[in-house]
A and B are shown apart, each in its own frame.
Chain A
Amino acid sequence: MKLLTSAIAIAASLYGAQAFAWEATEGRPFEGQTVQVLAVKSSQFEAHEARLAEFEEATGIDVVYDYVPFPNMKEALTTEMVAGGDYDVVSVMDQWVVSLQMLLTPIGEEMEAQGTDLSDFPAAHMRHGMLDGELIGLPVRGHVQLLFYRTDLLEAAGVAPPETWEEMVTVAQAVQDSSDAAGIVLPYGKLSGQNMMVWMNLLWGNGGDLFDAEGNPIFNSPEGAAATETYIGYLTDEIVPAGSAVFVEQDAVNSFKQGNSAMLPVWWWVRSQLTDPEQSTLTADQVGFTALPYVDGADRTTFTNTWIFGVTEESDVKGAATEFLGWLTDPALERDVLLDPELDEVVAVHMSNLTDPEVNERWGGMHQAAADALATAEGIDFGDNWPRVSEILETAISSLASGEQTDVQAVLDQAAEDIVAIR
Chain B
Amino acid sequence: MAEKEWTPKIVAFVCNWCTYAGADLAGTSRLKYDVNIRPIKLPCTGRIDPLFIVKAFEQGADGVLVSGCHPGDCHYTSGNYHARRRWIVFSELLRFLGIHEDRVQFAWVSAAEGAKWADLVNEVVAKVRELGPFTAYRELDSAEVVS
**Do A and B bind?**
no
